[in-house]
Structure 1
């Protein structure tokens, strides 16, 4: 993975988040604090600007800069969780995209203390990692993330602000899983690799 490839991926993710900002916020207004779309849009805009201003020399530095920017610019749980995802990816990107995403996923699990089925971004990220671990394509991983996102609808949230709603959180799509599916969609569209 080279910096140009990763920059294309993150720029596409930023574009998707911007286009879906209001939809992400609407999802978050139902079960959260109605700021996921605006927070992620602000954070990814800052990432794109930071990468353009001082392009990192290597993939690890680029992912580290992405992570630190998100931690500093995105409020709520999303900043620390997405920041951890990219910071952990930075340490493993030399092994390829799939292993790096797995390392990021494990970082998110440790940071957020969420498990599959808790109605979080984990429910989209985990299935994508499983596909890549098995040698599947990024397109297949993106589909797995989308399926994981859709599977959050009937779940009762057990982590985050949505968990305060208890049974009333069922019937709503998780915003974090939704933005994670966009992350994998962007990867499939721009990287097109088999890890």
Structure 2
């Protein structure tokens, strides 16, 4: 089993399209109400870039994704998602994106987000969805599960992490300015990050 990076990001763009209103509503409660539109614009730009001239290796494909997202997404999401994909690109090889190489790249992307945003578990950010997903992916692959089954577990872990942001007090980003008023709201970044993991699961072939 393997993942085509282009199909992964195209599916992510489709999921963002489907959930743009939800992301906007979540961000309206604790942010600038632009996460949905920003993510939609950025992922659409990536799809357009691939349609124009798609690189042939996973590392170059992921690098294009990262650079495009940084250029086209405003706010904190552009640098964070862009860094995720650039770190993925640096860890990815030039051959097919199989289970070990995908897990390695995903973990590198998560480490990039930590380095860029200084987020930790419980800060009420995308990290709260991506970190459990990376742990579940590694754990299930180490146990001998297929990439599809490992990513199914990663999606469940990401969704649990996303839902776990609801009672949290935001300690990073715009939501942190609200103090106690951030409690009781699902984090939009953790929500879009869960879509990213779901897109990977649906891109397995």
Short-chain TM bin:
over 0.9
Q: Name the structure 2 match of 1:173.
A: 186
Q: Name the structure 1 match of 2:199.
A: 186
Instruction: State which of 113, 116, 122 in structure 2 corresponds to 1:111.
Output: 116
> Secondary structure of the residue that 2:92 maps to in structure 1?
helix
**What's the TM-score once normalised by structure 1's chain length?**
0.95
4+ residue runs of structure 1 moved beyond 2 angstroms? none
Output the CA distance in 2 between the equivalents of 1:39 and 1:153: 22
**What's the TM-score once normalised by structure 2's chain length?**
0.90
**Any gaps of 5 or more consecutive residues in structure 2?**
94-99, 142-149
> Secondary structure of the residue that 1:114 maps to in structure 2?
coil
Q: CA shift at 1:172, angstroms? A: 0.2
- Per-residue displacement from partner, 1:43-90 (whole Å, max 9, x unpaired)? 000000001110102000000000000000000000000000000000
Matched, 1:97 2:96: no
CA RMSD of aligned residues (A): 1.3
Equivalences for residues 44-63 of structure 1 within 5 A: 44-63=43-62
Equivalences for residues 62-77 of structure 1 within 5 A: 62-77=61-76
Q: Name the structure 1 match of 2:125.
A: 120
Q: Name the structure 2 match of 1:34.
A: 33
**Any gaps of 5 or more consecutive residues in structure 1?**
none
Instruction: State which of 156, 161, 169 in structure 2 corresponds to 1:148.
Output: 161
Q: CA shift at 1:135, angstroms? A: 2.9
Q: CA shift at 1:9, angstroms? A: 0.9
Aligned residues between the structures: 191
> Secondary structure of the residue that 2:171 maps to in structure 1?
coil
Q: CA shift at 1:134, angstroms? A: 1.2
